Chain A
Amino acid sequence: GAGVSQSPSNKVTEKGKDVELRCDPISGHTALYWYRQSLGQGLEFLIYFQGNSAPDKSGLPSDRFSAERTGGSVSTLTIQRTQQEDSAVYLCASSGETRDTQYFGPGTRLTVL
């Protein structure tokens, strides 16, 4: 596909369960970002991958959150022991060499009951 894709589009889970969210960036893009968009708020940076460099995890809100990027392409964001405050839309973006323009996926809406 031409754009960033994310799956699932919606995820409803029970408090305490683990969830995995997937992002497929635009082919050839070396940079990948995860953001969180809570209801009525702007985007909160979570984590950033650039090539083979160590990821910038400075935005992860707790150690329950982790992410990996395999083969420099697909990324998975994992939230362990989900809490109700984790409910949000999780957005993935990718960018090319210049890294100044990010292309966003449609997001995964996570609801923790």
Chain B
Amino acid sequence: GNSVTQMEGPVTLSEEAFLTINCTYTATGYPSLFWYVQYPGEGLQLLLKATKADDKGSNKGFEATYRKETTSFHLEKGSVQVSDSAVYFCALTVNTNAGKSTFGDGTTLTVKP
């Protein structure tokens, strides 16, 4: 079956610190990989995605590279802001599953000024 394992939280950083949230996966077939973000009181929003090996997804200063050899899709940002405080979810979708996604448990990030 498919599964996603992401770094346990919570993660607390100071503003302008470097962020890494680890994500590894197992999948049957060739997955597309996603990071979603959920800001306090809001729904999930797609942050970035990558659909094949070695692709890099990027958005709002966040990046993640699809690493097939390590089955990983780690999220990074060079300098976090207070406004980045949210819950981050790693997810995968395999087309053979008709698009339904498998999500990690989420990692809560708090950025302090």
Which A residues lie at the B interface, using CB under 8 A? 4, 31, 33, 35, 40-43, 45, 48, 50, 56, 59, 91, 93, 95, 99-107
**B45:A104 contact, CB within 8 angstroms:** yes
Of the four ranges (under 10, 10 to 19, 20 to 34, 35 or more), the interface on chain B belongs to 20 to 34
A2 to chain B, nearest CB (A): 13
Question: Which residues in window 45-73 of B have CB below 8 A to A?
Answer: 45-46, 49, 51
Q: How far is the CA of A102 from the CA of B76 in the complex (A)?
A: 22
Q: How far is the CA of A35 from the CA of B98 in the complex (A)?
A: 15
**B99:A42 contact, CB within 8 angstroms:** no
Q: How far is the CA of A103 from the CA of B36 in the complex (A)?
A: 10
B106 to chain A, nearest CB (A): 5
Q: How far is the CA of A101 from the CA of B4 in the complex (A)?
A: 17
Residues of A within 8 A of B105 (CB): 40-42
Known contacts A41-B105, A43-B103; decide if A48 and B98 are in contact (CB<8 Å): yes
Q: How far is the CA of A9 from the CA of B61 in the complex (A)?
A: 31
A-B contact pairs, 23 of them (CB 8 A): A33-B99, A40-B105, A40-B106, A41-B105, A42-B4, A42-B106, A45-B100, A45-B101, A48-B98, A59-B100, A91-B44, A93-B44, A95-B99, A99-B93, A99-B98, A99-B99, A100-B93, A101-B49, A102-B101, A104-B44, A106-B42, A106-B43, A107-B43
CB-nearest residue of chain B relative to A34? Answer: B100
CB-nearest residue of chain A relative to B4? Answer: A42
A59-B100, A100-B51 given; name 12 further pairs at CB < 8 Å.
Answer: A35-B103, A40-B106, A43-B44, A43-B89, A93-B44, A99-B95, A100-B32, A100-B49, A101-B34, A101-B46, A102-B93, A102-B99
**B43:A105 contact, CB within 8 angstroms:** yes
**A56:B98 contact, CB within 8 angstroms:** yes
Q: How far is the CA of A106 from the CA of B41 in the complex (A)?
A: 8
Can you list, as one digit per residue, whether each of B72-113 has a CB less than 8 Å from chain A (1) or not (0)? 000000000000000001010101001111111110000000
